[in-house]
Structure 1
Amino acid sequence: MSKLPKRSEVKPEHRWKLEDLFADQTAWNNEYAQAQEQIKQIATFEGTLSDSSKLKACFELEDQLSFHVERLYVYANMSHHEDMAEPGNQALSDKAKKLSVQSGEATSFITPEVLSLTDQQLAAFIKDPQLQPFRQTLLEMQREKAHVLSKAEEMLLAQVGNVSQGPGNIFSMLNNADLKFPKVQNENGEEIELTHGRYIQFLESKDREVRKNAFKAMYETYGNMKNTLAATLNANVTKNVFYARARKYPSVLEMSLFGDNIPKEVYTNLIDTIHQHLPLMHRYMKLRKKLLKVDELHMYDLFSPLVEEFKLDITYQEAVKTVKESLKPLGEDYLNVLQEGFDNGWIDIYENEGKRSGAYSWGAYGTHPYVLLNHNDNLNSMFTLTHEMGHALHSYYSDNNQPYRDAQYTIFLAEVASTLNEALLMNYLLEKSTDPKEKMYLLTYYADQFRTTVFRQTMFAEFEKIIHEKVEQGESLTPQELSKIYYDLNLLYYGEDMVVDQDIEMEWARIPHFYTSFYVYKYATGFSAATSFSKQILEEGAPAVERYLGFLKSGGSDYSINILKTAGVDMSTPEPVSQAMSVFEDLIKQMEQLEG
């Protein structure tokens, strides 16, 4: 294996151009000084916000400060990510983080002060012509007002904040530091310690005994701690119920959806629609059993490869070419922006010594987006490229069509553009493929995304809904109760062709997302919305593309659900999830035909 190059040895054409953000360190220092000055200035507005002209000036200064802090923070951290061991960039990153905290503290008076105004004053501000650029902010504050308490009560809740982090922190320490897993024999008969990171590698083994032993070892370890882990999860749910009641929400679910202004129906429709389509999941399990040539399909068989690894050696240049071809349905304008990204230093392509792992898209308003990759010449890296460029172009269109305050899109929308690109790439590869082995490899790759991102995350979402409703009704969550709920859901979701091993009843104990409550449904809704968009684009052409580009340009100018609805995907109805399920059904049909 060749040695990784040092950052200084990376060719200029393989690096992103951070100089497009700041020409040099002096420019960064000057903007830093400017931001510090604005932090002092904004304090002078405290106590004056009942006056509309003062409020306008305060909002404008807040935007300028936020704009500078974001640029400084993004540049410092992306510089740090180029080489995490370089001390100068580490110091710059720390400096930017401190500035961000100072800025947050300096502007923290604005929302409480506006919320302390009377309903009449707030309504008048929303209609005030000079405050129209900030109308969405004021509407959001008006919506929030019903759930804001008195000053004394808010102070009390703020003090409870550290205590409320207890369940999540305890789980994190248990899960990441204290839990020790036994050793498991690998395919070569070597005793290897089981870890979180190695678990999936074991489950992907071709040796069934290795998979089974790792699976049993994992859940026996959690089973030994079931009382502590149940008490921890119960404490987290109880904390959520406390906050929902204190802030006068009908339920924890509605409190969790409130931030993005998502109707409860989006959540319940997702679960109901997936329930209606569970026969598809059961059909896929039956096919998986057949492809694996096993008498019984067990839970530890879910990650084992269905077909021999089909080695696709794809250079970065080939990946770029294929991604461009696959995104042709999105039209000339989209392709031109994409090309600009490939040609003009948006992307940091290859791994180098000390570089941050993984991949992301990031950037700051007023400059083009940036994408960090650690490209390997394989299929996964090509999908990562199109995924991150989906994020990048979403940011590009938002930033170029919205004022600063309205440009940032929500987490609810964040994965739609990236997943749509993946769907179009998969469609292109499947249409082009002539090798049955390659085609089956691609189909199983895509079908497993549906299984893990839509079905599994919806099952998690349903589990969260059930356990919160139980605590809201005054019941407690014993380890036996949690395990029974979880086991029964697995029976329901996987169907009769799957042997639902008893050990899986402890899986609830190892899911960190259950401590960020009612979040996982966004994976399933985002994937469904993207699949719905891709289906419309491929079937309708230009009108659907125009609606989709309108979605990309909308940023955060309206509530997420409205932005999607305007673009032709109404998540308050079952339709987008049903459309995604029709794509999944088509994949299964193609696999069944190939398998014969």
Structure 2
Amino acid sequence: MTSKNLEKPNFKDREEKGLPKLGKIETNWNLKKHFYKSDKDPQIKQDELDYQKAIAKFRKEFYGKQFTTSTEKLLKALTKYENLINKFQADKILRYFSFRSTLNVNDDVANKMLAQYSEKFRTLSNDLLFFKLELGKIPKKQQKIYLADPKLADYRYFLSTLFKNAEHHLSEPEEKILTLRANTSAEMWYEAVEKIISNRDIKFKGKTIKIPEALEMISLLKWHEKDKLWNLILDELIQISEVAEHELTAIVNHEKVSDKLRGFKKPYSASILSNENSESSVEALVDTITKEGFKLSRRFYKLKAKIHNQKTIPYVNRYDPIGKLPNPTFLDSVEICRDTFYSVKSDYGEIFDRLLKNGQVDVYPKKGKRGGAFMAGTLNLPTFVMLNHTNDLKSQATLAHEMGHAVHAERSKGQRAIYESFSTTTAETASTLFEQLVLDRIFERLSNKDKVIFLHDKLNRDIATVQRQIACFNFELEMHNHIRENGVATKTELATMMNKHLKAYLGEAVSLTEKDGYFYVAWHHIRYGFYVYTYTYGHLISNLMAQNYQKDKNYVNQIDKFLCSGGVDNVDNIFKSIGINTKSNQTFLHSLKTQDRELKTLESLLKNK
């Protein structure tokens, strides 16, 4: 679909002054252009063979050799390792079949090829395990010498991170076993449930729709219609929960075994180390939001119930607006994002345009397509964005969020190969930064009457990003602890846990039914191992960055420094370099005050209506 097929705009005051002409928008991924012509493309086999040869050559040169005994030998090995991953063609093959499966979960050819190549490359990756394991065996005294050696300066952070992670390394045979078994348990369970959800039909208003599309549709319905569709969805999720309880038990037990072998003490320890955060800072963040943030969210929903003249609000209506704002079409959303991205820095707008024009953004829901949204950025591969866009402000915010991820990925391509990838925590900071800047731009355009409505909606979204994600973190932690102690969690126990933690942030003003608790079946992120705290972290830090930018537009230089950093340092140091102290809990409390101020403003505006 190109721009000539797009809906007419609903926003009358779209700003296009001084922006380059966008031209045609491709709303479908162009996999033939960026990856392979088909699953029979001979280049797939060639890329596989090239990768096999590269690994074999590297292994032959360094396996069993003493490449850590001197600076010169170590530098040579690190340089060749970086060159190897810089030509990593396995990801191109895996991305191609993964993207095809994303577009159609029933693409049997893609699913089969993805499984086959995943197994092949998992086996091949085992041939590289020796390298990092050998580096991790360097004596601590010698580690300090290498970290201080100016000849190894380019690899200092890479080595320091590896030395830290080495505390949890296993022997090479053990690492190989865990790698080969990964897709035989947790991953396959997750894929199975995801496919079941994507294939389930719901009949609503004379139409047959899939669950992912139905979930996206809810926000567009009237108050009384939402409950009907929501209960139809829940009826399906309750049926699927018989499988999901085993899926989640398998995932948790898989992590339990890995944690025990590697010496991780807490269910979230491995994830936090991987995200380059400290446990103490994340625990302080979770504690702060649970104790102070939940007070704000409960206050908001109490006010919301009063606005709607309800004693309590049904769970499905928690996001309902208090008035009608113009629903942006996709073209509206594109133009508002372009205005914002270009106004901050032209480089960001150019990245936004390039992805839209080159078939790197898949926009609309379709039969068989997975739900949700994501950005996929990989070394030496084009950045791709997946959406399920509907004409509402939620989708507008999602577009800004995912394209913010894309800008971060593209700007990080200026880093050398070993530092191009970045922490999940910095990734979520980048995405929520652009989301907030776009929402600020929309707010500026609205009338005073509409600003009240928008402020309410913004608070609703912010609470979903901050308090809701910590409620999910707390649910995950209870789920992990329960399964680790009892061996299993039943579908009913999981639903009860879910309602308990939802109620903690929603308060008494939002009513929850027993059925509502079964949403855990479709909540993808609880399968990702405590990923959700990064949304909260990212939002609170990006809020401070946005405030700094609004006060002084020259702060864009600090923003760009952050976006270009990739994974060149740990999270704390990257933010420290732009003047933000993430080690202090006061930083998060200070950012949370924005929500308190906005809530007080909304309360005041409503009193004066």
TM over 0.5: yes
Q: Does residue 249 in structure 1 map to residue 243 in structure 2?
A: no
**Identity over aligned pairs, percent:** 19
Determine if contact 1:363/1:369 at 8 Å carries over to the other structure: yes
Pick aligned residue for 1:50 from 64, 68, 79: 68
* CA–CA separation in structure 1 for the residues paired with 2:423 and 2:210: 37
More displaced, 422-431 or 110-119? 110-119
Q: Does residue 514 in structure 1 map to residue 526 in structure 2?
A: yes
2:562 counterpart residue number: 551
Question: Could you say if the C-alpha distance between residues 566 and 466 of structure 1 is closer, same or farther in structure 2, counting changes exceeding 3 Å?
Answer: farther
The residue type equivalent to 2:133 in the other structure is: P
Pick aligned residue for 1:195 from 207, 211, 231: 211
More displaced, 194-203 or 411-420? 194-203
1:131 counterpart residue number: 152
1:111 counterpart residue number: 132
* CA–CA separation in structure 1 for the residues paired with 2:239 and 2:93: 44
Q: Once the 2 structures are TM-superposed, how far is the Cα of residue 249 of structure 1 from its aligned partner?
A: 1.8
The residue type equivalent to 2:476 in the other structure is: E
More displaced, 419-428 or 379-388? 379-388
Q: Once the 2 structures are TM-superposed, how far is the Cα of residue 428 of structure 1 from its aligned partner?
A: 2.2
Determine if contact 2:327/2:391 at 8 Å carries over to the other structure: no
**Structure 1 unaligned runs (5+)?**
6-10
1:145 counterpart residue number: 166
2:312 counterpart residue number: 296
Determine if contact 1:314/1:379 at 8 Å carries over to the other structure: no
1:273 match: secondary structure: helix
Question: Could you say if the C-alpha distance between residues 180 and 133 of structure 1 is closer, same or farther in structure 2, counting changes exceeding 3 Å?
Answer: closer
1:240 counterpart residue number: 255
* CA–CA separation in structure 1 for the residues paired with 2:562 and 2:347: 18
Question: Could you say if the C-alpha distance between residues 541 and 489 of structure 1 is closer, same or farther in structure 2, counting changes exceeding 3 Å?
Answer: same
1:451 counterpart residue number: 463
1:502 counterpart residue number: 514
* CA–CA separation in structure 2 for the residues paired with 1:561 and 1:134: 19
Question: Could you say if the C-alpha distance between residues 441 and 103 of structure 1 is closer, same or farther in structure 2, counting changes exceeding 3 Å?
Answer: farther
* CA–CA separation in structure 1 for the residues paired with 2:305 and 2:362: 39
Determine if contact 2:341/2:349 at 8 Å carries over to the other structure: no
Alignment of 1:84-103 (within 5 A): none
Pick aligned residue for 2:477 from 444, 448, 465: 465
Question: Could you say if the C-alpha distance between residues 370 and 277 of structure 1 is closer, same or farther in structure 2, counting changes exceeding 3 Å?
Answer: closer
Q: Once the 2 structures are TM-superposed, how far is the Cα of residue 346 of structure 1 from its aligned partner?
A: 7.0
1:419 counterpart residue number: 432
Determine if contact 2:321/2:453 at 8 Å carries over to the other structure: no
More displaced, 465-474 or 105-114? 465-474
Per-residue CA deviation, residues 473-517 of structure 1 (Å, 9 max, x unaligned), is 678645565444333323321122222333333333443332322
Question: Could you say if the C-alpha distance between residues 350 and 104 of structure 1 is closer, same or farther in structure 2, counting changes exceeding 3 Å?
Answer: closer
Alignment of 1:221-300 (within 5 A): 222-223=237-238, 229-230=244-245, 232-274=247-289, 275-300=291-316
1:569 match: secondary structure: coil
Pick aligned residue for 1:406 from 419, 422, 425: 419
2:326 counterpart residue number: 310
Structure with larger Rg: 1
2:534 match: secondary structure: helix
The residue type equivalent to 1:41 in the other structure is: K
1:69 match: secondary structure: coil
Q: Once the 2 structures are TM-superposed, how far is the Cα of residue 534 of structure 1 from its aligned partner?
A: 0.8
Pick aligned residue for 2:544 from 524, 532, 540: 532
Determine if contact 2:342/2:349 at 8 Å carries over to the other structure: no
1:8 counterpart residue number: none
Determine if contact 1:397/1:553 at 8 Å carries over to the other structure: yes
* CA–CA separation in structure 2 for the residues paired with 1:196 and 1:373: 12
Question: Could you say if the C-alpha distance between residues 574 and 127 of structure 1 is closer, same or farther in structure 2, counting changes exceeding 3 Å?
Answer: closer
Q: Does residue 63 in structure 1 map to residue 76 in structure 2?
A: no
Question: Could you say if the C-alpha distance between residues 13 and 61 of structure 1 is closer, same or farther in structure 2, counting changes exceeding 3 Å?
Answer: farther
Q: Does residue 431 in structure 1 map to residue 444 in structure 2?
A: yes
Question: Could you say if the C-alpha distance between residues 252 and 77 of structure 1 is closer, same or farther in structure 2, counting changes exceeding 3 Å?
Answer: same
Question: Could you say if the C-alpha distance between residues 573 and 328 of structure 1 is closer, same or farther in structure 2, counting changes exceeding 3 Å?
Answer: farther
* CA–CA separation in structure 2 for the residues paired with 1:51 and 1:530: 43
Determine if contact 2:383/2:406 at 8 Å carries over to the other structure: yes
Q: Does residue 565 in structure 1 map to residue 576 in structure 2?
A: yes
Q: Once the 2 structures are TM-superposed, how far is the Cα of residue 206 of structure 1 from its aligned partner?
A: 1.1
Determine if contact 1:390/1:421 at 8 Å carries over to the other structure: yes
Q: Once the 2 structures are TM-superposed, how far is the Cα of residue 43 of structure 1 from its aligned partner?
A: 2.5
Q: Once the 2 structures are TM-superposed, how far is the Cα of residue 160 of structure 1 from its aligned partner?
A: 5.0
Per-residue CA deviation, residues 146-186 of structure 1 (Å, 9 max, x unaligned), is 212334544554565455x24x53465356438997966x4
Per-residue CA deviation, residues 175-198 of structure 1 (Å, 9 max, x unaligned), is 6438997966x4x5x486773431
* CA–CA separation in structure 1 for the residues paired with 2:81 and 2:534: 30
* CA–CA separation in structure 2 for the residues paired with 1:347 and 1:323: 17
Question: Could you say if the C-alpha distance between residues 242 and 200 of structure 1 is closer, same or farther in structure 2, counting changes exceeding 3 Å?
Answer: same
Q: Once the 2 structures are TM-superposed, how far is the Cα of residue 314 of structure 1 from its aligned partner?
A: 7.0
2:227 counterpart residue number: 212
Q: Once the 2 structures are TM-superposed, how far is the Cα of residue 345 of structure 1 from its aligned partner?
A: 8.7
2:413 match: secondary structure: helix
1:583 counterpart residue number: 594
Question: Could you say if the C-alpha distance between residues 12 and 380 of structure 1 is closer, same or farther in structure 2, counting changes exceeding 3 Å?
Answer: same
The residue type equivalent to 1:570 in the other structure is: N
Determine if contact 1:329/1:538 at 8 Å carries over to the other structure: no
Pick aligned residue for 1:393 from 387, 403, 407: 407
* CA–CA separation in structure 1 for the residues paired with 2:182 and 2:254: 10
Question: Could you say if the C-alpha distance between residues 472 and 408 of structure 1 is closer, same or farther in structure 2, counting changes exceeding 3 Å?
Answer: same
Question: Could you say if the C-alpha distance between residues 141 and 315 of structure 1 is closer, same or farther in structure 2, counting changes exceeding 3 Å?
Answer: closer
Aligned-pair RMSD on alpha carbons? 4.9
Determine if contact 2:275/2:423 at 8 Å carries over to the other structure: yes
Determine if contact 1:371/1:389 at 8 Å carries over to the other structure: yes
* CA–CA separation in structure 2 for the residues paired with 1:32 and 1:490: 46
* CA–CA separation in structure 1 for the residues paired with 2:467 and 2:533: 10
